[in-house]
Amino acid sequence: MNIEWVDFVNIATRDVERSRAWYRDVFGLAEDPNNPEELTAGQVTLTFWEPEKEGIEFKPNIAGFALRVDDIEAAKAELEEKGVQIVGQGDTGVCNMVVCVDPDENAVILHRRYKPYE
């Protein structure tokens, strides 16, 4: 098997419209020109679904997923200006990161790697 890359991230939510608007407005993500219900982050697509509409209990993703930014401190300041809840910040020894949560308390990690890949 030859995995080429991550193609999309599916985000569970209680309200697709609210979540899509939040990710678009907070992170400045563009609507996918082929499907305006999806957003794009670089070459990765963000999709949204409501598990409760399928009889599945909603549970926030506390592990999250990471979006690479060019400046962690500037990104953190922008989140704070927008009133986004920040739940963590740290240096892993490989990258600096800030962790925030979306309206459904799904974790979103903003990070910047500073150590070269080996």
Nearest-CA neighbor of 13 among 41, 52, 46?
52
Domain assignment present for 1 = no
Looking up residue 89, the CATH number of its domain turns out to be 3.10.180.10
* Overall pTM surpassing 0.85 (yes/no): yes
Helix, strand or coil for residue 37?
A: strand
Tens digits of per-residue pLDDT, 1-48?
999 988 999 999 999 999 999 999 999 999 888 887 899 988 899 999
24 within some domain: yes
Domain count, the chain: 1
Closest CA to 97 of 73, 64, 62, 63: 73
Domain span holding position 94: 8-113
Give a yes or no: residue 3 inside a domain: no
